[in-house]
Amino acid sequence: MEEVLLEDGERFYIIAARFALFPGHLLINSRVHRLTIGDLPQEDMAELERLHLLARRFLLDQYGKATFWENGVVHKHVPHMHLHGWPVVMELPPAELLADSTQLAGVADISAWYAANGFYHYLQGDLGSYIFKPSHALFRFIGPWLTRQSGNPPGVGGGIVRSGTPETTTALVAQWRSWRRAAETPILLPPEGGGDRRDSSGLGEA
């Protein structure tokens, strides 16, 4: 895993996706086996949010756009918690699908929704954080949206053609490490219980 590792945490780590949809595609994975973010204990959420913000900042700094997606369980090819980070412009699904979604404050709210409602899909970007009940209609939106973002023609059956290669994965690792060395401004998270904001990025220590 060392050849694709971007950031190593106590409970989570970030890697460059080996089978990337686009150059810049990264994944946040849990170290302990969990099926979804919804399965994570509450004490894991602070580190997940820190790495999520770190990945988001990288994508915005390097590509000018950042969107995150989790399949939940349905349509997941790898049965292990992983949050996709894509350098794409967020788009919202049609109104009828959006009407059946719930807007969340962020990833820390997924567990409560999951406990009450079950399987889900999660979409987050500059237009907000949304959780959806699984539906084929949602995937009929996701596929064409990502195909438009990739700039590639649709694949067989309208599927997404992956534009990432082993070379772009290697390049992403080098890009991340260079960015990490150059980054000096810490990411500030609101502390538990209020008070002054605190540096949770580790960027000031890199």
Backbone dihedral angles phi then psi of residue 175, each to the nearest 5 degrees: -65, -45
Backbone dihedral angles phi then psi of residue 187, each to the nearest 5 degrees: -85, 130
pTM, entire model:
0.85
Q: What is the dihedral of CA 141, 147, 153, 157, to 10 degrees?
A: -40
What is the mean pLDDT of each successive set of 10 residues along the chain, which is 206 residues long?
89 94 94 92 94 97 96 60 95 94 94 93 96 89 88 75 88 96 61 43 44
User: Running DSSP on this structure, what letter comes out for residue 78?
Assistant: S
Are 81 and 40 spatial neighbours (Cβ–Cβ below 8 Å)?
yes
Q: Quick one: pLDDT at residue 159?
A: 72
Q: Quick one: pLDDT at residue 152?
A: 78
Are 131 and 102 spatial neighbours (Cβ–Cβ below 8 Å)?
yes
- Which residues is 129 bridged to in the sheet? 104, 124
Domain extents in the chain: 5-205
Q: Quick one: pLDDT at residue 162?
A: 82
Q: Quick one: pLDDT at residue 153?
A: 79
Q: Quick one: pLDDT at residue 178?
A: 94
Which helix (H) or strand (E) segment holds residue 195: the answer is none
Sign of the alpha-carbon torsion through 30, 87, 91, 125: positive
DSSP symbols for 121-184: EEEEETTEEEEE---HHHHHHHHHHHHHHHTSPP-GGGPPPP---HHHHHHHHHHHHHHHHH--
Q: Quick one: pLDDT at residue 201?
A: 47
What does the chain come to in residues?
A: 206
CATH superfamily placement of domain 5-205: HIT-like (3.30.428.10)
